[in-house]
Structure 1
Amino acid sequence: MVIGICDDDKQWRESCKRTLEGFSLMIELTIEIKCFATAGELLEYKGTPLDAVFLDIELGRENGIFVAKKLNKAWPSCQIIYMSNYLHYATEIYNTEHIWFVVKKHFQDKVGEIISRILRDFEGNTFRIVLTTLKNEVISIVPSDIYYLEREKRGTRIVTVWNEYHVKERMRDIVPQLSELDFSQCHNSYVVNFRHVKELQKDMYILYGGAGQEQIVQISRRYVQKTRKDFLKWSSLFV
C-alpha cells in the first residue's frame, strides 16, 4: 500500500511516519509513505496512487475537512483518516467520506486498529484492471480512479486521477471489465466515467480534475442519445 501523511507540523509528520513504519514492520506489511506539508502539495500530487491519507484537520490556513471534500471527488478510492489535537472536530467531519478520526495524542495506541481498518477496506476494494503499457510495464488501476479512456492506434490512453497511461490493450477489450453503470461510450474514441462528471453539455462532458483542472470529453452525434440516457440513469440513483 501507498499511504500519505498531510500535516503542516514537520515534527508530527516525522513522528507519524515512524509510528506507521514501525507498526508495518512488526506485522510484515509493505508500505510506502508520502509526506505533504500543505493541502496544495497533496491535491497536486500525481505520483503512485495513494490508498489512504492521514489528514490533519488544521492545515495552517486550510481546513482539512474542505480538503477531504476535494479528495473525495478527485480520488474516490483513497481512504481518509482524520487527525487532530481537538476532539470537538469529531462532530464536524461526517459530511465527508472517511474511515477514522483520531486524536493525535492517542495515535500510537490506535495505529493497530486504524491499519486493520485500512486493510479491511482495501481488501474490499481491491478489484483492479491489470494492463500492460507500451513500455511493457504491468500496471493495475482501480476503475473508480479513471476519468476516461481514449482509443489510440497502438492501444488505449487511460486518464486517471493520478496520471495517464498508454496501454497495449484495445479499448474494446478494457470496457467489458468496467461497470456498465459507471462507464459509457460517448464517442468512437472515448468512454467516460460518470463518477467524475461535473456537467453534461450539448456535445461534451466536463469532468472534475485534480488541482481544479477540468477535463473535457467530447460526445459524438452517434452516441448522443445513448450516453445521455446512460447518464440520466446513473444520476437518478443519487436523487
Structure 2
Amino acid sequence: MRLAILDDDINSIKAARGAILRYPQVEFLDYFTKPEDLFENLYKYDGIFLDIELGQDNGFEIAQKIIDTDSQMQLVFLTGHASYAIDGYDFNPVNFLTKPINEKKLKRTIEQLEEKIDDIEEDAQIMFRMKKGYEIINVKDIDYIERRNRKNYLMYKGKEERISNYSMKELLDMLEKYGFFMCHQSFIVSLKKIENIIDEGNQRYILKLEDCKELIPVSRNKKDELEKKLEKMYRNKI
C-alpha cells in the first residue's frame, strides 16, 4: 500500500510513521504538513492518514477536497479528541485513530485498508487515448506497456493497442499505484503478472509474464529494486 500522512505536528508525524511502517503491507509512507503539498502528489497514494486539527485548516474540509479529487481514496482520521469522530462519519473513513495511536486499533486499521484497497484494485479502470479515440481498460487485464520507435503500445488480453500522447513517466504515474513497475526504460510491467525472472548471465535478466510470449528485459540498475518489490508483495500474502 502507498500511504501518506497529513498533520501539522511533526512530532505526531514521527510517532505515526514509526508505528505504521512496522507493517510490511506498507510499500511507502510519505508525510506532509501542508495540504497543498499533499494535493500535488495525491495521485500517488492509496490512502491518507489525515489529522482533523490542522492549524488554520479544517481536516474535514480537506477530507471533502480529497474525496472530490479521488472518490476512491481511503481515509483514516487522526485526532487528539475522540469527540470529533461523530462529525467525520459522513466521509466513510476506514477508521478513527486517537493520539497516541493504539497498536491494536492500528493493526486492524491496516488490515481494513488492505482489504479495501485490494477490492478497489480488482475493479480499477483507466481511460487511455487510443489511435481511434478513448477506451476504458480494466487495470487487471494490462500485462505491460512497451515504448517502441517513439510510440507506446499497451498489451492486454492478448492484443496490442497503440496509445497516444503519453510519456512513459505519465503512464507510470497512472499505473504505479496498481502494482506496475518500470523494469526498463522501454517497459512498464504488471508485477502481478510476473511468473519468473530469468538470469541469462552477464547481469542480463528477462521477465516471463503470464500468458505472454514476449520476454521483457530488465535493466541492470532495476533488478535489485524489482526483486525487493516482489519479495515484499508476496511476503504480505503469506
**TM-score normalised by the chain length of structure 1:** 0.53
* 8 Å contact kept, 2:78–2:97: yes
Q: Which residue does 1:155 correspond to in 2?
A: 163
Q: Which residue does 2:113 correspond to in 1?
A: 118
Q: Which residue does 1:39 correspond to in 2?
A: 35
Give the Cα–Cα distance (whole angstroms) in 1 for the partners of residues 8 and 104 of structure 2: 22
Deviation, structure 1 residue 50: 0.5
Counterpart mapping for 1:135-154 below 5 A: none
Picking from 61, 79, 86, the partner of 2:81 is 86
Give unmatched runs, 5+ long, in structure 1: 140-152, 168-239
Give the Cα–Cα distance (whole angstroms) in 2 for the partners of residues 134 and 76 of structure 1: 31
Q: Any idea what SS the aligned residue of 1:125 has?
A: helix
Give the Cα–Cα distance (whole angstroms) in 2 for the partners of residues 74 and 29 of structure 1: 25
2:89 counterpart letter in structure 1: Y
Deviation, structure 1 residue 96: 1.8
Deviation, structure 1 residue 111: 1.0
Bigger mean CA offset, 92-101 vs 5-14: 92-101
Picking from 57, 67, 74, the partner of 2:69 is 74
Q: Any idea what SS the aligned residue of 2:171 has?
A: strand
Q: Sort the Cα spacing of 1:157 and 1:74 in 2 relative to 1 into closer, same or farther, 3 A.
A: farther
* 8 Å contact kept, 1:2–1:33: yes
* 8 Å contact kept, 2:152–2:162: no
Q: Which residue does 1:5 correspond to in 2?
A: 5
Query: Which runs of structure 1 show a deviation greater than 3 angstroms over 4 or more consecutive aligned residues?
Result: 133-139, 163-167
Give the Cα–Cα distance (whole angstroms) in 1 for the partners of residues 172 and 27 of structure 2: 26
Deviation, structure 1 residue 30: 4.6
* 8 Å contact kept, 2:79–2:97: yes
Structure with higher strand content? 2
1:18 counterpart letter in structure 2: G
Q: Which residue does 2:98 correspond to in 1?
A: 103
Q: Which residue does 1:132 correspond to in 2?
A: 145
Q: Sort the Cα spacing of 1:67 and 1:157 in 2 relative to 1 into closer, same or farther, 3 A.
A: farther
Give the Cα–Cα distance (whole angstroms) in 2 for the partners of residues 138 and 98 of structure 1: 38
1:15 counterpart letter in structure 2: A
Q: Which residue does 1:15 correspond to in 2?
A: 15
Q: Which residue does 2:55 correspond to in 1?
A: 60
Give unmatched runs, 5+ long, in structure 2: 125-138, 155-160, 174-238
2:38 counterpart letter in structure 1: L
* 8 Å contact kept, 1:4–1:50: yes
* 8 Å contact kept, 1:133–1:165: no
Deviation, structure 1 residue 157: 4.6
* 8 Å contact kept, 2:8–2:54: yes
Q: Any idea what SS the aligned residue of 2:91 has?
A: coil
**TM-score normalised by the chain length of structure 2:** 0.54
**Structure 2 residue 197 is matched with structure 1 residue 165:** no
Q: Sort the Cα spacing of 1:121 and 1:157 in 2 relative to 1 into closer, same or farther, 3 A.
A: farther
* 8 Å contact kept, 2:153–2:162: no
- Number of equivalences: 146
